[in-house]
Amino acid sequence: MMKRPPPGGLFLEGRSSWVYRLCMADSGPSLPVESRTKLSWFLSGAALTGSIPALILMTAHVGFAGFASENGLPMIQAAFMVAAIWALPANIVLIGAIAGDYSIVAAAIAVGLSSIRLMPMVAAFVPEIRGPNTRRISLLLLSHFIAITAWVIGMERLKNVPAEMRVVFFAGIGITLTTANTLVVALVYLLSASFPPLVFACLFFLTPMYFLASLWGSARDRSIHVAMVSGLILFPAIHAVAPAYDLLLTGAIGGLVTMAYVRWSKGRAAT
């Protein structure tokens, strides 16, 4: 009978040293923390590439590859975009800017504005992975991999990873996830003739729907729900009026609505 994988770490099944099974880091390690090496923690993070959020992100990159191919982007450039830019919405914005014949400056501004949402995520995440002896250069390098999928997986798992091993653990998540999706895009380019456009569109749409539901369910207070509902309501209206600034204005106005709600709820609690 196959043994259940020891919680919190990778295990070797049978006699093969190459057969690793997915670990669930939030269950606690089967071995004393002191006996686990950095490589073990790195592989534990890398194994989470097989988790549901990571697999859904891969399906979205299948759709992204179809979108890039239909817009005439070569495979090398599309794969490089995934590895270098990483955030999927920013890649979509860049391809839209290329297709719209934007200038380099305009394209850079558009990509930058679409990625500014990652700033608070990085600010919240870096303290979680910083250990007593973590070097700043390590944090700077790993910040490249902070996008919503890696952020959600990391925030769920890091609480049960020793502080001194969190950088290594997240490096396993980020590096493996980015590499896997880069290879997915390259592979889909080679097989793109076999995929109908409708399949690309459906897979592309799966990721935002999944994470919308995940963020709603994992929200710790009502203000997050208010922010999400504000964005869902505001975006279609603003896009109809000012499509060039829809994301920026939706974020700004939705943020103001959420701040007003937080102030109102605090005042109501104080009375």
In the chain, DSSP assigns E strands to none
* Token pair belonging to 253: 């106005």
Chain segment 126-180, per-residue pLDDT in tens = 888 988 888 989 999 999 999 888 888 888 888 889 988 999 999 999 999 999 9
User: What count of other Cβ atoms lies within 10 Å of the Cβ of residue 46?
Assistant: 23
Chain segment 213-262, per-residue pLDDT in tens = 767 766 777 888 999 999 999 999 998 998 878 877 888 899 999 999 99
- Which of 91, 138, 145 is closest to 122 using CA atoms? 145
The predicted structure's pLDDT at residue 207: 65
Q: How confident is the model at residue 106 (pLDDT cuts 50, 70, 90)?
A: confident
Three-state DSSP state, 141? helix
Could you tell me the pTM of the whole model? 0.68
Interval 15-38 mean pLDDT: 49
